[in-house]
Amino acid sequence: MKKLPLLLLVVCVLVLPSFGQQKIRAEKIGDRIDIYIGNLFFTSYHFASNEKYPFFYPVNGPSGASVTSKRNGTYPHHSSLFFGCDKVNGGNYWQEGLDRGQIVTLRAEIDQKMDDQVVIHNETVWTRPGANAPIKDIRKITISSPSPSVFQIDFEVDMEMLEDVVIEKTNHSLFSGRMDPDLAVVNGGTLINAEGEKGEKETFGKQSPWMDFYGKRGDGIEGMAIMQHPSNAWYPSPWFTRDYGFFSPTPMYWPENDTATHLSKGEVVKLKYRVLVHSGDHVQAEIAKYFDTYTK
């Protein structure tokens, strides 16, 4: 067989398409931002003034169905994928009731410089009637898709203390996910951490850099993993887990002095999380490999 000239081979390699990267686009519609990956609607980031806090919903997997759920009669404060906190200077920025506390968006903007990722900049203030605002935060949310079977959300938040802040011991704190009931452990799903421990009984209160939650969906498997970045304060935080579908790296439930977390006025807490919405189980989706990449 006749060999191709070296220059032609180089050209062929350069023009080969990148199958791992899908075009991503975002559109701001009123008080939400819709994100599409390829031809699939991936998620909406909601920040309406009548909501408790900003949140993502739905969070659709490669199948097109959401891996998360939004509220129910028992837990109306579980809004899919979200960030908040209870017991902050006497306020509640987690559970229902806007008069108890609310995380209000000051601005939410789309920044897109590349076809294969979208960045959302979101600035918020934590406020409630009759009290000083204890915290403001700035969020950078980057949406990408490292492969056709993995959708990625990088959530970075800088929390600035506007006054001395005391967060009493609470299981309602910081970055959290509520899975769709079909994927919950009680319905046959799997909850597993980086050490291979499974379910609420083995993972509750355990420190771990990441956790994955997945289950059967049609003829396949689909799920969502949450990772903590090693640069985070309190890393690796212990996890508050529930077999019914809730999981969160929650440092405020295990404070060092076992009573409260104290933060000083002007202090800035920087936190980073990575969410992978994926096909397959944690091995097939290579969650450990993705975490290794995240740490670097």
Q: What is the CATH number of the domain that holds 101?
A: 2.70.98
Q: What is the mean pLDDT of residues 280-294?
A: 98
In a domain, 2, yes or no: no
Q: What is the pLDDT of residues 230-258, one digit of tens each?
A: 999 999 999 999 999 999 999 999 887 77
In a domain, 31, yes or no: yes
Q: What are phi and psi of 13, to 5 degrees?
A: -65, -40
pLDDT at residue 74, as a whole number: 81
Map residue 23 onto helix, strand or coil. Answer: coil
Q: What is the pLDDT of residues 105-156, one digit of tens each?
A: 999 999 998 999 999 999 999 999 999 999 999 999 999 999 999 999 999 9
β-bridge mates for residue 43, sequence order: 35, 59
Provide the pLDDT confidence category of residue 259 given band limits of 50, 70 and 90.
confident
Q: Which residues contact 202 (CB under 8 A, 6 or more apart)?
A: none
In a domain, 176, yes or no: yes
- Number of domains composing the chain: 1
In a domain, 278, yes or no: yes
Q: Which domain holds residue 36?
A: 21-295
Q: Which of 219, 218, 214, 228 is nearest to 278 (CA)?
A: 214
Task: Tell whether the model's pLDDT for residue 12 goes beyond 60.
Answer: no
In a domain, 15, yes or no: no
Reported as half-sphere exposure (CB side, CA atoms, 13 A), residue 95 has a value of 13
Task: Tell whether the model's pLDDT for residue 73 goes beyond 90.
Answer: no
C-alpha torsion 203→207→209→215, nearest 10: 10
Provide the pLDDT confidence category of residue 163 given band limits of 50, 70 and 90.
very high
Distance CA 135, CA 190 (A): 36
pLDDT at residue 151, as a whole number: 98
Q: Which of 30, 75, 24 is nearest to 52 (CA)?
A: 75
Element (H, E) at 203: helix 199-203
In a domain, 270, yes or no: yes
In a domain, 89, yes or no: yes
In a domain, 10, yes or no: no
The one-letter amino acid code at 223 reads G
Provide the pLDDT confidence category of residue 195 given band limits of 50, 70 and 90.
very high
